Chain A
Amino acid sequence: MGKKINAALIGSGNIGTDLMVKALRSTDINPVWMVGIDPASDGLAKARDRGLKTTDQGVDSLLPHLLEDDIRIAFDATSAYVHHDNARKLREAGVVVIDLTPAAIGPFCVPPVNLAEHAGRREMNVNMVTCGGQATIPMVAAVSRVQPVDYAEIVATVSSRSAGPGTRKNIDEFTRTTARGIEIVGGAKRGKAIIILNPAEPPLIMRDTVHCLTATEPDQTQIIESVHRMITEVQRYVPGYSLKNGPVFDGNRVSIYLEVEGLGDYLPKYAGNLDIMTAAALRTAEMLAPEIAAGHYTEGAAR
């Protein structure tokens, strides 16, 4: 283990704040800055309490400090719209960006499926798909590594309390980006995503259903084994990821019923959708950290 890499968290909402709590436990990443736009943000207050530097003036007010604070990696948990601008500015400054918005400028990363592929490629921007994508794409991949999947569809049901204003303002981004991730990373020929917000009290724990239609009759033994192996992989960074039912086989349909319980770092445990996103982003950053420390990421401005 080398020295920690200094990081900035951009966005002080649910995702950014949950990520901060996790990053503070990391042995590879050292969160130094949190950037928001709302002075009254609870996330910024929490960041100050935990000793981070903060600004409520957006990413522009972070840029002058990148060099002096040796910020090498940034997590963007703003919105797809804002990310386009942030991505350009940070790239020019030579900062590697882990994008948690659905902007998807960089390649998708779903750790148990393709994190290893990203190692050594030195991409300056990787995208974490969506919360529903992180929860379900591993299962699509678990089926598609056994045999071809013509079509995969996921239904993500999250507690209303865990869906922030960014998600709500552009819910189409979720369905679109997740569907694309199902195809590109999950390996399905065609992907579809559905998201449901449920306001029940007490809040429901995130539920995800994955339906795959295999091209030929499903090989039940191999698929069951592959799904269980993948569940174990995801549990390495999201312990509350569990198989509730399935795989159910019905003709060429393979259905997998999941529950994702979070660690309860910022929002309570029901918000597994936040956890799986932030845990995956942190895991990605930790994997890139040694290479960044070794100076392999030198694109952009001279540092």
Chain B
Amino acid sequence: MSQPKITLHDMCLRDGMHPKRHQISVEQMKAIARGLDEAGVPLIEVTHGDGLGGESVNYGFPLHSDEEYLRAVIGTVKRAKVSALLLPGIGTVEHLRMAKDLGVATIRVATHCTEADVSEQHISLARKLEMDTVGFLMMAHMLDPKKLLEQALLMESYGANCIYCTDSAGYMLPADVAARITLLRERLRPETELGFHGHHNLAMGIANSIVAVECGANRIDGSAAGLGAGAGNTPLEVFNAVCDRMGITTGVDVMKLADVAEDLVTPIMDMPIRIDRDSLVLGYAGVYSSFLLFAKRAAAKYGVSSADILIEMGRMKTVGGQEDMIEDVALNMARAKRA
């Protein structure tokens, strides 16, 4: 396990769409993608924050279509490959084919951690199209390691060549990551790659990602300057520097990536990506990170507390995609307050 080699996967042009309310411009995307490419980042995700087909009243309409973003970035990068996210129930196989036709190399099919069987249609098609096919198990903190393994095995059986343990709520502690990744590594096929996707709501993004690597993960998601939902993703430039110090090979230039984060990504932020009270609540209560801005907006509109909305969303055991319940919860709270 000495000197492991891992693949860094940048999220700022997909997960980063959440704090940007899906309003990143094509020019900004191209500039950031060029920077990431030149720094040696091998894989860059580009999609609406909620994946292909995410454009909606419920999740927000983006400035440009997935097709326009993907075409622009794929035409810009020289070495890096581009990935796209797809959530069955939101995106469809038509979106997948469109992405493939545009030159997307990696498709990541994401389901709630207990619902892997809705991904069969999409994973098997991606595999048939000879794409790098990832099964992405979201909110993985909600499922114990054994049950998570069962779901991972389903995705592997459909044809996924890589399985992700995804900490969508930024809730996991290093021991939670270790338990899950260790079991997945033991029981999935040796050739199946393993990934970890962290959120920084409890500031555990880097520590959790290091533990994941130590337990056998070889793909790590992060985002330049942390631009992502909630308190952001694992800040990729920081993680890369830590890897360098620890002798974990990423192939990514430490200072060049730091430049991208500082000079290209940070300037486009609408607000600082940091652990504010609401993001802390996400991590503490185990709530889906992209609910953050929706809760803040509903709180302002209906005169209730955004932290209380998020806590209620956690109590209701909501899963990724249930953004619609935020206004519903806020309306109920406002009514209760009046009564």
A-side residues, CB < 8 A to B, are 151, 153, 155, 157, 160, 165, 168-172, 174-176, 192, 194-200, 204, 207, 209, 211, 213, 244-246, 248, 253, 255, 257
B27 within 8 A of A: no
The answer to whether B88 and A172 touch across the interface, beta carbons within 8 angstroms, is yes
Within 8 A of A (CB), among B41-100: 56-58, 88-90, 92-94
A-B residue pairs, 6 tightest by C-beta: A200-B317, A209-B324, A211-B57, A199-B114, A172-B92, A195-B89
B318 within 8 A of A: yes
By a CB distance below 8 angstroms, the chain A residues around B331 are: 245-246, 248, 257
B263 within 8 A of A: no
By a CB distance below 8 angstroms, the chain B residues around A165 are: 117
By a CB distance below 8 angstroms, the chain A residues around B92 are: 172, 175-176
**Which residue of the partner chain A has the closest CB to B94?**
A172
By a CB distance below 8 angstroms, the chain A residues around B276 are: none
The answer to whether B56 and A153 touch across the interface, beta carbons within 8 angstroms, is yes
Given contacts A209-B324, A248-B327, contact A197 B118 (CB under 8 A): yes
**A155 vs B50: C-alpha distance in the bound complex, in angstroms?**
14
The answer to whether A199 and B328 touch across the interface, beta carbons within 8 angstroms, is no
By a CB distance below 8 angstroms, the chain B residues around A174 are: 89
A164 to chain B, nearest CB (A): 11
Given contacts A153-B58, A169-B120, contact A245 B332 (CB under 8 A): yes
The answer to whether A194 and B328 touch across the interface, beta carbons within 8 angstroms, is no
B213 to chain A, nearest CB (A): 29
Given contacts A196-B89, A200-B316, contact A153 B57 (CB under 8 A): yes
Task: Enumerate 17 A-B pairs (CB-CB under 8 Å) in ascending A order.
Answer: A157-B322, A160-B114, A168-B118, A171-B88, A172-B88, A176-B92, A194-B89, A195-B89, A196-B321, A198-B112, A198-B318, A198-B319, A200-B317, A207-B324, A207-B328, A209-B325, A213-B57
Q: Which single member of A151, A192, A196, A209 contacts B328 (CB below 8 Å)?
A: A209
B115 within 8 A of A: yes
By a CB distance below 8 angstroms, the chain B residues around A209 are: 58, 324-325, 328
**A176 vs B94: C-alpha distance in the bound complex, in angstroms?**
10
By a CB distance below 8 angstroms, the chain B residues around A211 are: 57-58
B28 within 8 A of A: no
The answer to whether A160 and B115 touch across the interface, beta carbons within 8 angstroms, is yes
The answer to whether A170 and B324 touch across the interface, beta carbons within 8 angstroms, is no
Q: Which of A155, A157, A165, A244 has the most CB of B within 10 A?
A: A155
What would 4 more interface pairs be, CB under 8 Å, given A172-B94, A194-B90? A169-B121, A171-B121, A174-B89, A199-B114
**Which residue of the partner chain A has the closest CB to B302?**
A248
The answer to whether A172 and B121 touch across the interface, beta carbons within 8 angstroms, is yes
The answer to whether A257 and B324 touch across the interface, beta carbons within 8 angstroms, is yes
**A113 vs B327: C-alpha distance in the bound complex, in angstroms?**
27
By a CB distance below 8 angstroms, the chain B residues around A192 are: 56
**Which residue of the partner chain B has the closest CB to A202?**
B317
**A175 vs B92: C-alpha distance in the bound complex, in angstroms?**
8
B302-335 interface bits toward A, Cβ cutoff 8 Å, 1 = contact, 0 = none:
0000000000000011110110110110011000
The answer to whether A171 and B57 touch across the interface, beta carbons within 8 angstroms, is no
How many of B's residues come within 8 Å of A, CB to CB? Answer: 28
Q: Which single member of B112, B114, B121, B327 contacts A170 (CB below 8 Å)?
A: B121
**A244 vs B117: C-alpha distance in the bound complex, in angstroms?**
31
Q: Which single member of A196, A199, A255 contacts B322 (CB below 8 Å)?
A: A196
B125 to chain A, nearest CB (A): 10
**A248 vs B326: C-alpha distance in the bound complex, in angstroms?**
13
**A101 vs B52: C-alpha distance in the bound complex, in angstroms?**
25
**Which residue of the partner chain B has the closest CB to A198?**
B319
**A153 vs B323: C-alpha distance in the bound complex, in angstroms?**
13
**A165 vs B115: C-alpha distance in the bound complex, in angstroms?**
11
**A235 vs B26: C-alpha distance in the bound complex, in angstroms?**
48
**Which residue of the partner chain A has the closest CB to B115?**
A197
Q: Which single member of B57, B90, B317, B327 contacts A198 (CB below 8 Å)?
A: B317
The answer to whether B324 and A155 touch across the interface, beta carbons within 8 angstroms, is yes
The answer to whether A207 and B115 touch across the interface, beta carbons within 8 angstroms, is no
The answer to whether B112 and A199 touch across the interface, beta carbons within 8 angstroms, is yes
**A205 vs B225: C-alpha distance in the bound complex, in angstroms?**
40
**A245 vs B117: C-alpha distance in the bound complex, in angstroms?**
32
The answer to whether B58 and A155 touch across the interface, beta carbons within 8 angstroms, is yes
By a CB distance below 8 angstroms, the chain B residues around A168 are: 115, 117-118, 120
**Which residue of the partner chain A has the closest CB to B96?**
A172
By a CB distance below 8 angstroms, the chain B residues around A200 are: 316-317
By a CB distance below 8 angstroms, the chain A residues around B120 are: 168-169
The answer to whether A197 and B328 touch across the interface, beta carbons within 8 angstroms, is no
The answer to whether B57 and A197 touch across the interface, beta carbons within 8 angstroms, is no
Q: Which of B115, B324, B325 has the most CB of A within 10 A?
A: B324
By a CB distance below 8 angstroms, the chain A residues around B58 are: 153, 155, 194, 209, 211
A155 to chain B, nearest CB (A): 5
**Which residue of the partner chain B has the closest CB to A245?**
B331
Q: Which of A170, A172, A174, A200 has the most CB of B within 10 A?
A: A172
The answer to whether A171 and B318 touch across the interface, beta carbons within 8 angstroms, is no
**A246 vs B56: C-alpha distance in the bound complex, in angstroms?**
19
**Which residue of the partner chain B has the closest CB to A258?**
B328
The answer to whether A207 and B325 touch across the interface, beta carbons within 8 angstroms, is yes
The answer to whether B322 and A245 touch across the interface, beta carbons within 8 angstroms, is no
The answer to whether B57 and A245 touch across the interface, beta carbons within 8 angstroms, is no
By a CB distance below 8 angstroms, the chain A residues around B325 are: 157, 207, 209
By a CB distance below 8 angstroms, the chain B residues around A245 are: 327-328, 331-332
By a CB distance below 8 angstroms, the chain B residues around A207 are: 324-325, 328
**A253 vs B92: C-alpha distance in the bound complex, in angstroms?**
25
**A245 vs B120: C-alpha distance in the bound complex, in angstroms?**
35
Given contacts A175-B89, A194-B89, contact A244 B328 (CB under 8 A): yes
